[in-house]
Structure formats: structure tokens, C-alpha cells
Amino acid sequence: MAEKKKIAFLVDTEGIEQVELTDPWAHVEKAGGVPRLLAPKLGRVRGFNHLTPADSFSVDVTYADASADDYDGAVIPGGVANADFLRMDEDAVELVKALVEASKPIAAICHGPWLLVEAGVVRGKMLTSFPSLQTDIRNAGGDWADQEVRVCDMNGWTLVTSRTPDDLPEFNREALKAFGLE
């Protein structure tokens, strides 16, 4: 039997837009994949429904202990605070760079692309995000489009991006394709 695909979900400890974590997570599980929650430290992380605290989730692996070799792809949920803290985490940034170097697909939604900007991996790529990130993406050498979902395949690496929770159906569909879980 083939080994199940492991998908890393990259979050910080607070401010995760909960539906952008739980909805793709459920789709990965339903498609036969194994989602794993990565964060700066072990323990629990807090989801939010926009600005309202919601559920907490157990962390599987810290960024310091993670290796791109252990995963078949990654999801970066949004949440303004989540993405802002996450892009300042050196280990998370290094993991994203390693995932890209290993040509592992990454799916980022809403404010999640901030981590991609920080990792320096958007140059020459077309992506979407929450509209407030478009200047950051352009300043990092990327192109921005106001679309439900963008799939960018360049040099053997696939990037899937979406704007908001409203785009989750399209985001999940394209992320599963990129992960080979369709």
C-alpha cells in the first residue's frame, strides 16, 4: 500500500482564521491525506472567527523540528495576526524556502501569502491574496490578481493562492490537485 501524503499546515500560535485551517484540513483528510499542524512551539494554537477567539488545536511538530522532506505539500491559512507573526518566525521562513527548493506544492489563502513574500519566493509569479497584500506581493516581485483562486506552475513548483474564506471551495479543489489528492 502506498504511503499517505502528509500535508503540513503552517500556523502561528494565535490569530489563525479558523475556517481557513479546518476546511482545507477536512478536505485533505477526506481525500486520504494526512494533515499535520506545524507551529513555533508544541502545545495548542488558537483559531479565530475573524476577530473572535474560537477553538484551539494541538500542534504536531515545531518548525525547528520540521523538514521539507517529511511533507508532500503545505497549506498556509490566513488570519492577519497569524500571518504577521508567522512571517517573523525564522524557522517557518526557512521551511517555506526548503519546501519550494524541493518543489513541494504550497497553498496559501487570505493573509497566508505574507509568509511567501518573507521567504522571497513570489518573484515572477502570479498570485492572489486578501487585497491588502497586493502591494507587498508586487514589491516582492510578484504579480497580483483579484481572482477566487490562482494556480502558478513554474519550474516544477506549484503555488495555489486564494483571497478569502469565500473562495475556499475553489482553493480546496486546486490545492488537492496540486497535492495529488484529487
pLDDT tens sequence across 7-60: 999 999 999 999 999 999 999 999 999 999 999 999 999 999 999 999 999 999
Place of cell 485533505: 28
pTM listed for this prediction: 0.97
Please list the alpha-helical segments (H only) found in the chain: 18-30, 80-86, 90-101, 113-119, 134-139, 168-179
Inter-CA distances, 88 with 10, 93, 116, 117, 160, Å: 13, 8, 11, 11, 22
User: What are the pLDDT digits (tens) for 131-167?
Assistant: 999 999 999 999 999 999 999 998 889 999 999 999 9
The domain segmentation of the chain, as residue ranges, is 6-179
Instruction: Write down the CATH number for the domain with range 6-179.
Output: 3.40.50.880
Determine contact, residues 66/102, Cβ cutoff 8 Å: no
Cα diameter, the chain = 46
pLDDT at 1 over 70: no
Candidates 137, 175, 38; CA nearest to 94 is 38
Place of cell 527548493: 101
pLDDT at 76: 98
Active site residues: 110-111
Partners of residue 76 on adjacent β-strands: 108
Candidates 125, 123, 130, 117; CA nearest to 162 is 130
